[in-house]
Amino acid sequence: MRNISIFCNQNNSVFEHKLIYFEIVSIFAKKLPMQLEKISIKGFRGIPNLELPDLGRINLIVGKNNTSKTSVLEAIFLLIGASNPILVANVNNFRNLVLTDEDDLRFVFNNLDFENQLQIKGEFSERGLQRDLHIKPGKKVIYAESSNSNKNGVSFPNLNTATGEHLINELIFEFTNKEFQKKAQQFQGSFTLDNGNLTINPPHKYKEAIKGIYVLPSSYALSETLEKQLENLIVNKQEQKIVEGLRHIDSSIKGIALGANRMVYVDIGLSRLIPLNLLGDGIRRMLNIMLSISGVNNGIALIDEIDNGLHFSTLSVLWKTVLEASKQFNVQIFTTTHNYETLKYLKILLDQPEMHSFQSCVRSITLQRLNDQSIMAYTYTHDKLNYSIEQGIEIR
């Protein structure tokens, strides 16, 4: 599968008054226009039931393997893109699970069981928005058994009593939006898989207000969407912000440009530009993350394995870039890691005087799977994270 980054939607929200904008950007302790404050997940993938009640601007999800860290990101992705049923195929594609058979629709249900309720609920800061998403199996189809044929093409009937196999070939997306002191609004879309063909029926006349992007752990190559974002920055003479971030990894980088066939080139002081793909994985990973955050302003960025492909010596630069980009573009960040060094360098960075304003915005969320397969979440604010790392307490 090729490397991709998927946008939930691309509706830009704008502040009508510049004073409001500067106030929100400069006072980082205030909430984002569309910040997810809490979420509960039930019956999704390996998550029987999980609640995350205290989310911040920067949320680092840690834990051992098979604790459903990535599943949390996917659940948030589905919630903020509830009006786009195709996302259920996307989250499976992220894991190289291509939906080719009707029975593959089980992949998003806990224990692969359609009988398990799949519900994702979230509360957002803007207008007290509450969203409740239910994903349900839809209609059943019967695949009748055909008659058997011998090698001469002579058919004869089946001799058993089976009438055929009943399969679910549709998922129904029902979601409710409830804003403060307003009547709840209900919407429904659907996703149908029939002999490998996908049919998407989004909610009628619904325009999504929440914007988000999912960044894969292997997303070194730029998707078409991120290429357009880079082009937009170059046209508006804002690419220098990206260049400055990349220079922290490779000080020889002086500029960035798009060439023929949308090839990305960088200027490292040679007589000609060189293709981005000739540079290290770290440069491409950092560029992907920076473009993703800048392209989803006033929205939510979901970054799986944020440190993938990066040397530990660049982790402090990575965190500084992510924190400052989150502030600059008003983006809430959810990311995963199982690397202790990533936690340590985040702590070191937050202890620097110029980064103290970010301390109250950061949450470290440890997921732990218990013997009964349930999952517990432990949320650490900066002070708790600081203490745990200093005392050598295992929080992964």
What pairs with residue 215 in β-bridges? 5, 303
Contact 127, 179 (CB under 8 A): yes
HEC readout, the chain: CCCCEEECCCCCCCCCCHHHHHHHHHCCCCCCCCCEEEEEEEEECCEEEEEECCCCCEEEEEECCCCCHHHHHHHHHHHHCCCCCCHHHHHHHCCCCCCCCHHHHHHHEHHHCCCCCEEEEEEECHHHCEEEEEEEECCEEEECCCCEECCCCCEECCCCCCCCEEEECEEEEEEEEECCCCCCEEEEEEEEEECCEEEEECCCCCCCCCCEEEECCCCCCCCHHHHHHHHHHHHCCCHHHHHHHHHCCCCCCCEEEECHHHCEEEECCCCCCEEHHHCCHHHHHHHHHHHHHHCCCCCEEEECCCCCCCCHHHHHHHHHHHHHHHHHHCCEEEEEECCHHHHHHHHHHHCCHHHHHHHHHEEEEEEEECCCCCEEEEEECHHHHHHHHHCCCCCC
Distance (Å) of CA 156 to CA 147, 152, 159: 6, 12, 9
Which of 75, 25, 344, 310 has the alpha carbon at shortest distance from 364? Answer: 344
Residues in CB range of 64: below 8 A, 6 or more apart: 338, 368, 369, 396
Per the model's pLDDT, the better-predicted residue between 395 and 101 turns out to be 101
- At 85, the pLDDT band (50, 70, 90 cuts) reads very high
Give the tens place of pLDDT for each residue, 90-147: 999 999 998 888 889 999 999 999 999 999 999 998 778 999 999 999 876 665 554 4
Average pLDDT over residues 265-285: 90
* pLDDT > 70? residue 60: yes
Per the model's pLDDT, the better-predicted residue between 175 and 313 turns out to be 175
Calpha distance 2→278 (Å, rounded):
18
The bridge status of strand 47-52 relative to strand 36-44 is antiparallel
Half-sphere exposure of 90 (CA within 13 A, CB side): 22
The region of weakest confidence among 52-56, 204-208, 321-325, 365-369 is 204-208
The region of weakest confidence among 20-29, 88-97, 115-124, 213-222 is 20-29
Distance (Å) of CA 43 to CA 32, 334, 386: 29, 21, 33
Q: For the structural domain made of 5-11+34-142+165-218+300-311+321-390, what CATH number should be given?
A: 3.40.50
How confident is the model at residue 148, as a pLDDT? 54
Residues 290-304 as b or e (16 or more Cβ within 10 Å = b)? bbbbbbbbbbbbbbb
How confident is the model at residue 24, as a pLDDT? 32
Query: How many CB atoms are located within 10 Å of the residue 236 CB?
Result: 8
Predicted TM-score (pTM) of this structure = 0.84
333: left (phi over 0), alpha (psi -120 to 50) or beta: beta
